[in-house]
Amino acid sequence: DSGVTQTPKHLITATGQRVTLRCSPRSGDLSVYWYQQSLDQGLQFLIQYYNGEERAKGNILERFSAQQFPDLHSELNLSSLELGDSALYFCASSASATDTQYFGPGTRLTVL
Amino acid sequence: AQSVTQLDSQVPVFEEAPVELRCNYSSSVSVYLFWYVQYPNQGLQLLLKYLSGSTLVESINGFEAEFNKSQTSFHLRKPSVHISDTAEYFCAGGGYQKVTFGTGTKLQVIP
């Protein structure tokens, strides 16, 4: 158990819909990262927050957004969903940007 | 710009044989290097990391990696693999404020 929790574990929705994925970091970790993992694209870094502020952006689509709240939990919002958005979405947390990242179990999103 | 390259997408190896998973990095700033492992249907977890000091780092399950500054490499090795080592391995490199992951290498251990 990494100490990072993600909800929900599975999500099935239709194209065009909007979903929110939630992540609670390990106690004391200020950095939160979001990743997308799919068979064709592999592991893709989406976005990083540090203590509530956006710190780095990766291959995140404009239809996707994220935020980190004062209690340090984070949410990833995916809108206008497409079939290609079906993937595993991982959240990770770390004490600082270059410390070990601890990964959650992931949310499996299926877009039908 | 920080980049991490894993040269092999898949590596098949027989059980009890040695294995090397290759990783090269590029960076113009201070370097932190990591290997993560992802077992089937699980999230990634840290295998080992190099921050400073001894260039050879070891994990608790027999893997080791050597930081080679002149060759900008951080290859992962194990002298004798087990079936349970079947997983995907990710190399990652950190510079100031950011960590970059490689594309992953799938290690398939053949009985």
Per-residue model confidence as pLDDT tens digits over A52-97: 999 888 889 999 999 999 999 999 999 999 999 999 999 999 988 6
Average confidence (pLDDT) over B54-73: 90
Asked if the model's pLDDT at residue B29 lies above 60, the reply is no
Average confidence (pLDDT) over B37-56: 89
CB distance A92–B103 less than 8 Å? no
Average confidence (pLDDT) over B80-92: 95
Task: Say how many C-beta atoms besides its own lie within 10 A of residue B53's C-beta.
Answer: 8
Helix (H) or strand (E) holding A82: none
What does the block give as tokens for B11? Answer: 């590596």
Q: Which pLDDT does position A96 carry in this prediction?
A: 80
Burial of residue A34 (CB within 10 Å: 0-12, 13-18, 19+) is buried
For B101, the closest of A4, A43, A104 (CB atoms) is A43
**Which residues from A are below 8 Å from B89, CB to CB?**
none
Name which of B44, B46, B59 to mutate to probe chain A: the one with the most chain A Cβ atoms within 10 A of its Cβ.
Answer: B44
Asked if the model's pLDDT at residue B30 lies above 60, the reply is no
**Which residues from A are below 8 Å from B36, CB to CB?**
101, 103
